[in-house]
Copies of this chain bind each other. A is one copy, B any other.
Amino acid sequence: MLSKKTQYAFRALIYLAENYGKGPVLISHISVKKKIPLKFLENILNELKKADLLESKKGKGGGYSLKFSPRQINLATVIRVVNGPIALLPCVSLNFYEKCEDCDEDICGLRKMMTITRDATLKILEKKTLEDILLVGV
């Protein structure tokens, strides 16, 4: 399951996607509109910025905005930044790989099944973007 933090991140990103091209949006504004604890949201947005998904501006007229168009930000990227691995086992993760002990990966049946699962999941998450989310409501 995605952490609450990740859900907050998505809600914030969706809001920013809705306001894409309209200039920076205040953290405090997003916090109120999307009912996300202010300081927690600060951390989250800052993390997304460091991951190069957002850009920010300080001082009056400042705030956060998407660095790329909603169409260019896919869900897998967001999940990896905020939530971590998408695969069900470390030994199957593409971005957070860790070897498992006592397991010959070539013949590990569990690993094989989890690889198939990961591929099916990623096929969706890497294709779907913030734009796809926005278009559902229409």
Contact = CB atoms under 8 A, between A and B. Distances in A.
A50 interface: no
Number of copies: 2
Nearest to A107: B137
A33 B21 CA distance: 60
A132 B120 contact: no
Contacts of A90: 1
Interface residues of A, number: 38
B121 A117 contact: yes
Which residue among A100, A124, A135 has the maximum number of chain B CB atoms within 10 Å of its CB? A124
Interface of A: 1-2, 7, 10-11, 14, 35, 75, 79, 84-85, 87-90, 100-102, 107-110, 112-113, 116-117, 120-121, 123-125, 128, 132-137
